[in-house]
Structure 1
Amino acid sequence: MIVKAQETSNIRVILAGLVGNVIEWYDFALYGYFATVIGQQFFPSSNPSVSLIAAFGAFAVGFLVRPFGGLLFGRIADLLGRKQALILTLLAMAIPTVLMACMPNYSRIGIAAPIIIVLLRIIQGLSVGGEYTTSIVYLVENAPDQRRGFFAIWGLWGAVLGILLASAIASLLANILDPQQLDIWGWRVPFALGSLVALIGLLIRRGLVTDVCTEEAIDPVQQVFGKYRMQVFRLFLLNIGGGVGFYAAFVYVVSYVKEIDMVPERIALNINTVSMAILLILYPLTALLSDRIGRKPLLIAGGGMLMFGSIPLFQLIHTTDPLRIFFGQLGFVIALATLSGGLNVANVELMPKAVRCTGLAFAYNTSMGIFGGTTPLIATWLIQGSGNPISPAYWLAGSASITLFTSIFWVRETRLSCLS
């Protein structure tokens, strides 16, 4: 059992919870945004679509190993303390971020280049598997009872801030560099800058109060697959819609607008950056709303908006008009912000304390690995195979329906529940 050795200030709790997610998702987003050039340099093919699919395939590998990272770092967090796990995940994250900045491409080292890229995605995926869920558990466990939703959202807020920083820097480079400069060396600059964020995060987390283990705990991994397997499965289902929606609307959409709509990359990145800035504003507001009216109303409202809105919103995005693209993405912003306001804190409140980090990490990361992280690959394949540019919307609507029906029929209200 893990308890706090002493109280930690609210500001330090929030900073510690969000900073690791900034660097984790900054790196992940950069890979998604520069998937086209990474595909060309590390997975060359005479068919550009094949290169893009290969690049997104390596991206998906990082997601597929996340459940194993969740079990590894979740177990550390449940048995040895949240601080130890959070420091280790941040250190593991710094490795692929720094190396991506100086990796030689296929023309220089041949087949070793794509192999190393895949290995870096695996390391990054293992790290993310423990980072995000452990951070929101840390935030909720250190929050006042009436403000758990507000505290929990800062883990996700940090993740989106990392993606926003990646989008903003990528947009800046697209505006000041010509396409040839961006393809040759410009795409590497944001990865190099990520090492600075990692250093800041490490300094903040090293100053956290160390958790104290008061008794011998039963192996949480064993309990996740035994006593608490149905609670884990419930969270697996609950997170599907949000994961697919997020990666469709904020990672894949940049490549979609550029490759399918034939809109300049600069415009695609600008729209994405503005949309995520709005998302950052809405997150704390919907989290505060969940602390007032409960988690379940937001889960149902957000899941319903994603399920019924995916097709019309994708139809808005499928155009060469930047304003219509923006309104389409804004619709996804509102739906995802509503869903996340209740989902983030419910993830922690629905998981029993004995396996909170391990169980949540495995459920969330398995859901993201199978559904969320594969979304760019599946969306690209659907369009390639069907010729229908709206086909990714059907994948998103179907995924959102799982979250909606799980919220309605298998989730109780947890706003007033006791964490212990």
Structure 2
Amino acid sequence: MGADIPAKSTRRRVYASTMIGNIVEYYDFTLYGTLAAVLAKLFFPSDDPTVALFSTYVGVSLSYFIRPLGALFLGPLADRRGRRTVLTLTILLMSIGTAGIGVLPTYAAIGAAAPILLLFSRVLQGLGASVEYTTASQFMLEHEPGSRRRNYLAGLMNATCSVGSLLGSAVSFVLIVTMPASAFESWGWRIPFLLAIPIAAVGFYIRNRLDETPEFEEMKRQIAAAETKQAPLRDAVRLYWRDMLKAIGLGAGQRIGSYTIQAYFVTALITAGFPTSLALLASMLTYAVGPLPSVWGGVLADRYGARLPLLVGYGLFVALTVPTFMAIDSESIVLAAIAVVVFTIINNLVAAPLNIAYVLSFPPEVRSSAAALNFNIGTSLIGSTAGLVAVWLHDLTGDDISFGWYMTAACVVSILVALFALPASVDYREPDWSKAPLATRKPSLESNS
């Protein structure tokens, strides 16, 4: 077996450790979005349902707005101390934040302190999630450097997002349909949040038993031999800001699409008049079909180049996003369910090459910092605000079609980047790392001597 190819047992543990953390992240996130209507009543009581729902979605946005701050600290920490160290910390923060929501007293019990504590729990979740996806992806890909199936691996990583979301929505669905409504709103809603504890415990255990990535270890040896000071955040911003902007633009449409699937479709279906149980069932269908197009998009990108799934996916989004929201307003649950499932297939088709752009467009010594920053800026500014924009546009126009046009415009931006500014790493072209700070690549860091 080649030196760069890890043993099968190691690969299995690496895959398990990265995927279970991703499952925890999206389980946590989906719970909040899925149960937003319930949380709005319990933590943000108001005579105006739109105000209560809007306040609840502020919690979603807050967990995203905090992510760039988490990226500023945790990204460089992963470049200095290692990917595994940060992955252990992220799963701890996410599970504490989620379990915290499960034990919080409601507004009826402690008044205004309840929503404040809820939002604080969302901040903890956001800090943990800020670098989970990008660092876990690095951990997987850096254990197989030079692999010709990296888009497939990236697609496999994205598939676990759907698994986590499916788990969160399935638990919520089962409890909602089996419990009396009064019991669920009284205490049953806490159960899904508390279930995050055993899931996270398994991930924490696995991650603590893994070695650091070979690529990270080699990078640290080179930095020590060159006697240089490592300044990953400074070098990422100074040397690779153009590459970060490319990644943000390339993922703009998909960031809105992911948020819509994970946090807004259930609300949109309920607002359109469908029963909560049917809305949750439609949401579960999106997560059930999600893994296959994630992996398929990665296979296509490895075989035919990344532009194929990117242009096909975003082109379909431009054509079908507005009809998706028209279907939701059609009063037919069958038509609405088909629309959101097709929407999910398109969204996941483009995910693998986007993951490569977020992570592998940068050299190892600044990779965590640059990936965390570009991913979280795009997710916070473009993705997390989608719910607020959607609620505002629905209140303004009375339907969700205007939000469909908003997302369509973002997809056009992503198409232009795919056509004219596709990051080199996505298509197996060698990125320009001549500016990188290692002595072996024209050092930019100051010598300690």
Please give the residue correspondences for 1:74-223 in structure 2 after superposition, counting only pairs within 5 Å: 74-143=75-144, 145-211=147-213, 212=217, 213-214=220-221, 215=223, 216-223=228-235
Asked whether the equivalents of residues 23 and 197 of structure 1 are also in contact (C-alpha less than 8 Å), the reply is yes
Residue of structure 2 in register with 1:404 after alignment: 415
User: Once the 2 structures are TM-superposed, how far is the Cα of residue 59 of structure 1 from its aligned partner?
Assistant: 1.2
Greater CA drift, 341-350 or 321-330 = 341-350
CA deviations 1:307-344 (Å, max 9, x no partner) are 22111121112222221011111221221122113222
Asked whether the equivalents of residues 232 and 351 of structure 1 are also in contact (C-alpha less than 8 Å), the reply is no
CA separation in 2, counterparts of 1:10 and 1:40?
Answer: 45
CA separation in 1, counterparts of 2:208 and 2:404?
Answer: 43
Residue of structure 2 in register with 1:364 after alignment: 375
In the superposition, the TM-score normalised over structure 2's length comes to 0.89
Max Rg structure: 2
What letter matches 1:98 in structure 2?
A: A
User: Once the 2 structures are TM-superposed, how far is the Cα of residue 299 of structure 1 from its aligned partner?
Assistant: 1.4
Residue of structure 2 in register with 1:390 after alignment: 401
Residue of structure 1 in register with 2:266 after alignment: 254
Greater CA drift, 18-27 or 337-346 = 337-346
User: Once the 2 structures are TM-superposed, how far is the Cα of residue 217 of structure 1 from its aligned partner?
Assistant: 4.9
User: Once the 2 structures are TM-superposed, how far is the Cα of residue 406 of structure 1 from its aligned partner?
Assistant: 1.1
Asked whether the equivalents of residues 294 and 342 of structure 1 are also in contact (C-alpha less than 8 Å), the reply is no
The alignment partner of 1:351 has SS state of coil
Residue of structure 1 in register with 2:436 after alignment: none
Residue of structure 2 in register with 1:280 after alignment: 291
Residue of structure 1 in register with 2:302 after alignment: 291
CA separation in 1, counterparts of 2:255 and 2:182?
Answer: 33
**1:322 matched to 2:326:** no
**5+ unaligned residues in a row in structure 2: which ranges?**
434-449
**1:224 matched to 2:236:** yes
The alignment partner of 1:263 has SS state of coil
User: Once the 2 structures are TM-superposed, how far is the Cα of residue 246 of structure 1 from its aligned partner?
Assistant: 1.3
CA separation in 1, counterparts of 2:262 and 2:90?
Answer: 24
User: Once the 2 structures are TM-superposed, how far is the Cα of residue 352 of structure 1 from its aligned partner?
Assistant: 3.3
Asked whether the equivalents of residues 242 and 340 of structure 1 are also in contact (C-alpha less than 8 Å), the reply is yes
User: Once the 2 structures are TM-superposed, how far is the Cα of residue 412 of structure 1 from its aligned partner?
Assistant: 4.5
What letter matches 2:174 in structure 1?
A: L
User: Once the 2 structures are TM-superposed, how far is the Cα of residue 156 of structure 1 from its aligned partner?
Assistant: 1.7
**1:302 matched to 2:304:** no
The alignment partner of 2:168 has SS state of helix
CA separation in 1, counterparts of 2:374 and 2:35?
Answer: 29
Asked whether the equivalents of residues 250 and 418 of structure 2 are also in contact (C-alpha less than 8 Å), the reply is yes
CA separation in 1, counterparts of 2:380 and 2:239?
Answer: 23
CA deviations 1:332-368 (Å, max 9, x no partner) are 1221122113222232232333321111111111111
Residue of structure 2 in register with 1:46 after alignment: 47
What letter matches 1:51 in structure 2?
A: A
The alignment partner of 2:428 has SS state of coil
**1:69 matched to 2:80:** no
The alignment partner of 1:185 has SS state of helix
Cα–Cα, structure 1 residues 184 and 385, in superposed 2: closer, same or farther, change >3 Å?
Answer: same
What letter matches 2:290 in structure 1?
A: L
Runs of 4+ with >4 A deviation: none
**1:25 matched to 2:37:** no
Greater CA drift, 212-221 or 315-324 = 212-221
What letter matches 2:379 in structure 1?
A: M
User: Once the 2 structures are TM-superposed, how far is the Cα of residue 89 of structure 1 from its aligned partner?
Assistant: 0.7
CA deviations 1:238-277 (Å, max 9, x no partner) are 2211110111133201011012x11011011111112211
The alignment partner of 2:239 has SS state of coil
Residue of structure 1 in register with 2:438 after alignment: none
CA separation in 2, counterparts of 1:71 and 1:294?
Answer: 32
Asked whether the equivalents of residues 245 and 306 of structure 1 are also in contact (C-alpha less than 8 Å), the reply is no
**1:336 matched to 2:338:** no
Asked whether the equivalents of residues 324 and 340 of structure 2 are also in contact (C-alpha less than 8 Å), the reply is yes
Asked whether the equivalents of residues 17 and 154 of structure 1 are also in contact (C-alpha less than 8 Å), the reply is no
Aligned with residue 351 of structure 1, among 362, 378, 383: 362
Asked whether the equivalents of residues 68 and 130 of structure 2 are also in contact (C-alpha less than 8 Å), the reply is yes
Aligned with residue 243 of structure 1, among 251, 255, 278: 255
Residue of structure 1 in register with 2:444 after alignment: none
Asked whether the equivalents of residues 140 and 345 of structure 1 are also in contact (C-alpha less than 8 Å), the reply is no
User: Once the 2 structures are TM-superposed, how far is the Cα of residue 306 of structure 1 from its aligned partner?
Assistant: 1.4
